[in-house]
Amino acid sequence: MTAPDPQATRPRIEGDREQEILSATLDVLAEVGYDRLTMDAVASAAKASKATLYRRWNGKVSLVIDALLTQKQPSEVPDTGTLRGDLLAAYCGMGGFGDARAVSTFTSVLTAMVRDPEFAEAYRRDVLGPKVAASSTIYARARERGELRDDVDLAVLAPALAGIVMHRFFVHGEEPNEDRIARIIDQIIIPAATCPLLPTASD
């Protein structure tokens, strides 16, 4: 016989109390970053015991991931009828780069993506995964509408907007806003998606 899973026998924290703990987790994350966040610090901020936290989460990876998932996200992939409109809605709305809280929490976990493989795997799967899927849907719809040139490589193009926005934020200190995101879409993403490739010397 196998021993029962101790996590399965513990009472589950639910409802308002769970939300209070997750909100406190986001506050601690924003204040000290993922690397310095501890279960003790969250317990103190939430006015709970560390044992209470461990009744629901087995460590800070699962706690932080659950907290990040409580942040408001769009319920559906934008479908405005144009690639430009969909990108603006996705990247400037809640949960996008126009959402200061979303950007703040992303910067708080950035170093953990490099230093903590367990967290990086969970973050990519649970937090970034739905965003990547939404972006893929936006470009797939644009292709179905005939907005993209036939040879565009969506594996290269789809992540480009987020990459450019975050590069300008971290390297140049330009905080994302709707105007900056719109200029990147209009001057880089749309031309890359629609303009024919220039012939190369080997053509």
Q: What number is the average pLDDT over the span 69-95?
A: 84
Per-residue pLDDT tens for 5-51?
Answer: 444 444 456 678 899 999 999 999 988 999 999 999 999 999 999 99
Per-residue pLDDT tens for 48-77?
Answer: 999 999 999 999 999 999 999 988 676 788
Between helices 83-92 and 160-172, what is the axis angle to 10°?
Answer: 40
Residue among 142, 159, 149 at smallest CA distance from 193? 149
**Interatomic CA distance for residues 189 and 203, integer angstroms:** 25
pLDDT value at 3 more than 90: no
Query: Which of 82-86, 167-171, 172-176 holds the top average pLDDT?
Result: 82-86
Mean predicted lDDT score pLDDT of the chain: 85
Q: Encoding tokens for residue 93?
A: 């709305």
Per-residue pLDDT tens for 136-164?
Answer: 999 999 999 999 998 999 999 999 999 99
Decide if 121 contacts 112 (C-beta within 8 A).
no
Per-residue pLDDT tens for 188-198?
Answer: 999 999 877 65
Per-residue pLDDT tens for 93-117?
Answer: 766 776 677 777 888 888 889 889 9
Other beta carbons less than 10 A from residue 83's beta carbon: 21
